Amino acid sequence: METKKKDIRALTREQLRGFFVDQGDRAFRGNQVYEWLWQKSAHSFDVMTNLSKETRGLLEANFVINHIRVDQMQRSADGTIKNAVRLHDGLVVESVLIPTANRTTACVSSQVGCSLDCKFCATARLKRMRNLNPDEIYDQVVAIDNESRLYFDRPLSNIVFMGMGEPLMNYNNVLKAIDKITSPAGLGMSPKRITVSTSGVPKMIKKMADDGVKFKLAVSLHSAIDEIRTSIMPFNATFTLTDLREALQYWYNRTKSRITYEYVVWEGINDTQRDVDALVDFCKFAPSKVNLIEYNPIDDGQFQQASKTALDRYVGTLEENGIVVTVRRSRGKDIDAACGQLANKH
Ligand code: SAH
């Protein structure tokens, strides 16, 4: 008969200590196990060699470690690595390692599929199957840190929540994962090297500000005109630009942390001077910068990257208005690892 064992990494350190005390053992046993689970990323109880056989047996009888498994690793000609990550229930998400001259960035997923419906994003077609648990997010980061050490001889330096899913629709688990990533009992990374990217859920942006989070915020804007944004990101009908703006103002007042807007320019969609002017206006209420992202085609051509002239107009007007703008080249396109291409095609 199968008894339901608990995911041991759903327990806090205190709860683990409590478990051992309840078993008539010493509380510090909980610290030892906690260290194995998080700092050393143990995949099984067998490796916990400073515990007795009986203790390991006790853990085995009561708990499971739902560790992820990197099923397939693809390498792009530009060095980008994409991991197909199998979860304990058989579902798959993807995460990406992006190397540059002096950085390694991990792009991680927060949900299996996505509940939003952005017309230009491949992940949106998968729909949302479930939220990832904090340990499943943490494991993706550890896997990429290991790959960075192995292939690039350096540890992971940055993390972006720009993989599958909408992080603010799985806020509690994302926060718990970041807590582990930044804690000395986990990976000890600085929160300043972590960026959470959102399509813009106003209520959650305000909550983040109230929670005093220390990581950075990026917003996938793509248009500062409501009708246009709603046509490509239909949830904008509910979370309008007015509400988003108000939430971002609140965020900035509370955190004093500059906002990054991610923006793709598409031909015939948002490539006129009116679109540029609306963006400039949107950038003015709080210190911000704009990342113009190259479009990664996902279908038969409903969306087309705008011309260089259109892009130059954006850059020129933004700069004239004193707004910092960067044009981002895509990475990992040949293995479907670029923004918006994550759709479990492997
Ligand atoms: N849900 C979050 C994080 C995932 S998307 C968010 O929306 O921010 C990560 C980034 O890739 C977002 O800025 C998104 O708008 C962008 N993106 C989605 N599809 C894309 C595509 N086909 N080409 C380029 N960027 C895309």
Place of tokens 């798959």: 92
| Residue 208 tokens, joined | 């983040």
Whether residue 1 has pLDDT greater than 70:
no
Ligand 1 neighbourhood includes 162 CB (under 6 angstroms): yes
In this prediction, residue 330 carries a pLDDT of 79
Ligand 1 neighbourhood includes 295 CB (under 6 angstroms): yes
What is the rounded distance in angstroms from the CA atom of residue 46 to the CA atom of residue 63? Answer: 13
Instruction: Give the lowest-confidence range in 12-26, 52-66, 165-179, 323-337.
Output: 323-337
Place of tokens 């309008």: 240
Indicate which atom in ligand 1 lies nearest the CA of residue 114: 1
Residue 313's pLDDT band, with cuts at 50, 70 and 90, is very high
Indicate which atom in ligand 1 lies nearest the CA of residue 297: 22
User: Which DSSP string corresponds to 62-128?
Assistant: HEE----EEEEEEE-TTS-EEEEEE-TTS-EEEEEEEE-SS-EEEE--SEES-SS--TT-SGGGG--
| φ, ψ dihedrals at 266, nearest 5° | -110, 145
Q: Is 294 marked active-site?
A: no
% the chain with pLDDT above 70: 98
Q: What is the mean pLDDT of residues 34-56?
A: 96
Q: What is the mean pLDDT of residues 81-101?
A: 96
In this prediction, residue 300 carries a pLDDT of 67
Q: What spacing in Å lies between the alpha carbon of 320 and ligand 1's midpoint?
A: 27
Q: Whose CA is nearest to atom 13 of ligand 1?
A: 220
In this prediction, residue 310 carries a pLDDT of 96
pLDDT, one tens digit per residue, over 137-151 is: 999 999 999 999 999
Residue 3's pLDDT band, with cuts at 50, 70 and 90, is low
Q: Where are the beta strands (DSSP E) in 171-271?
A: 194-198, 216-220, 259-263
Mean pLDDT, the chain, rounded, equals: 94
Q: What spacing in Å lies between the alpha carbon of 121 and ligand 1's midpoint?
A: 6
Ligand 1 neighbourhood includes 296 CB (under 6 angstroms): yes
Q: What is the mean pLDDT of residues 301-315?
A: 93
Residue 124's pLDDT band, with cuts at 50, 70 and 90, is confident
Q: Which of 107, 114, 283, 339 is catalytic?
A: 339
Ligand 1 neighbourhood includes 41 CB (under 6 angstroms): no
Q: What is the mean pLDDT of residues 43-51?
A: 96
pLDDT, one tens digit per residue, over 159-196 is: 999 999 999 999 999 999 999 999 998 999 999 999 99
In this prediction, residue 280 carries a pLDDT of 98
Q: What spacing in Å lies between the alpha carbon of 31 and ligand 1's midpoint?
A: 39
Q: What spacing in Å lies between the alpha carbon of 330 and ligand 1's midpoint?
A: 12
pLDDT, one tens digit per residue, over 273-300 is: 999 999 999 999 999 999 999 998 887 6
The terminus-to-terminus CA distance of the chain in angstroms comes to 36
Whether residue 340 has pLDDT greater than 80:
no
Whether residue 2 has pLDDT greater than 60:
no
Instruction: Give the lowest-confidence range in 29-43, 153-167, 325-339.
Output: 325-339
| φ, ψ dihedrals at 260, nearest 5° | -100, 130
Yes or no: say if 261 and 227 are a contact pair by the CB < 8 Å rule.
no
Q: What is the mean pLDDT of residues 24-41?
A: 96
| Residue 82 tokens, joined | 């994409």
User: Which DSSP string corresponds to 255-298?
Assistant: H--PEEEEE--BTTTS-SHHHHHHHHHHHTSS-EEEEEEPP---
Element (H, E) at 130: strand 130-131
What is the rounded distance in angstroms from the CA atom of residue 225 to the CA atom of residue 210? Answer: 28
Q: Whose CA is nearest to atom 19 of ligand 1?
A: 340
Instruction: Give the lowest-confidence range in 101-115, 227-241, 261-275, 327-341.
Output: 327-341
Q: What is the mean pLDDT of residues 39-59?
A: 96
Q: Is 94 marked active-site?
A: yes
Higher pLDDT, 271 or 2: 271
Q: Whose CA is nearest to atom 25 of ligand 1?
A: 339
Indicate which atom in ligand 1 lies nearest the CA of residue 164: 4
Indicate which atom in ligand 1 lies nearest the CA of residue 340: 19
% the chain with pLDDT above 90: 88
Q: What spacing in Å lies between the alpha carbon of 296 and ligand 1's midpoint?
A: 10
Q: Which of 54, 60, 94, 294 is catalytic?
A: 94
**What's the Cα-to-Cα distance from 71 to each of 2, 3, 82, 302, rounded to whole Å?**
27, 28, 11, 32
Ligand 1 neighbourhood includes 195 CB (under 6 angstroms): no
Whether residue 110 has pLDDT greater than 60:
yes
Residue 329's pLDDT band, with cuts at 50, 70 and 90, is confident
Q: What spacing in Å lies between the alpha carbon of 338 and ligand 1's midpoint?
A: 9
